[in-house]
Structure 1
Amino acid sequence: MTQSQSMKPETAAKKLGILLEAAPPEFREGVVTRDELNALQEDPPEWLQVLRREGPHPRSVMAAKLGISNSGLARGGVTDPLTTVEIRALLAAPPQWLVRERATQAAVRAEKRRVAERDAGRAAKGGGGV
């Protein structure tokens, strides 16, 4: 008989993309086995569906929904978790910091694409060097 691997609630919340503080006490106060995590991912209970849909969301999810980096959230002064409604309001009428951070993120993505294409071109020529 094998024992299923277990993890702290913080780790499980991160893997589920939810804010631990917003999860029910029974989730926050125990340990989560790998099997339980898989079950939550495959057939999320109502509380998990609501948290994922409405928030409040963890920083990584907020940043992704806003199209910026985690650092961009900090530079914008966002310290508290946001709900989906609050994120939509920011996107509908973006403050200057959000416009700036989205432009920065777009430039970073464009540069990554340019470098990847350059490296792919070099590899195709057989150069491979930097």
Structure 2
Amino acid sequence: MARLQILELPEVFVGAASETPFVLVIDQWEPPPYPGEDGPHPYEGIAEKIGARAVLVFEETVEIPANDTTAYLESVAGCGATGPNFASPIAGRVEVRQPCPYCGDRQMIPRSQFTEHMARVHPEEDSPGA
């Protein structure tokens, strides 16, 4: 049975818009036992209908490296991870910030320093959600 694969081409920018062109790759295709001599190919016109740049049809197997996820799946399966890794070097280094409602430029103040910021910069205001 034939396989369908997508080969993404480099992104194209047209003005402010962008698009990712692609090629449809059909491999493991088995031609009919008695092809018609004057009839069209079964995949003729498909590229225009689906918006592909081209359709490539092969009787043999064609592997597209961008579609190969086995290395990723093996690395995930091999690490034994079942959820987030809280022992990671970046764990605990994420800083939550909140905007100061009284600063004109809505500065993002670290939550751990928000009360001190309010007392130092805006002593006349009540500290909302500190």
- Mark yes or no: TM-score above 0.5: no
- Higher Rg: 2
Give the TM-score category using the shorter length. Answer: under 0.3
Compute the TM-score of the two structures, normalised by the length of structure 2.
Answer: 0.27
| Bigger fraction of residues in strand | 2
| Bigger fraction of residues in helix | 1
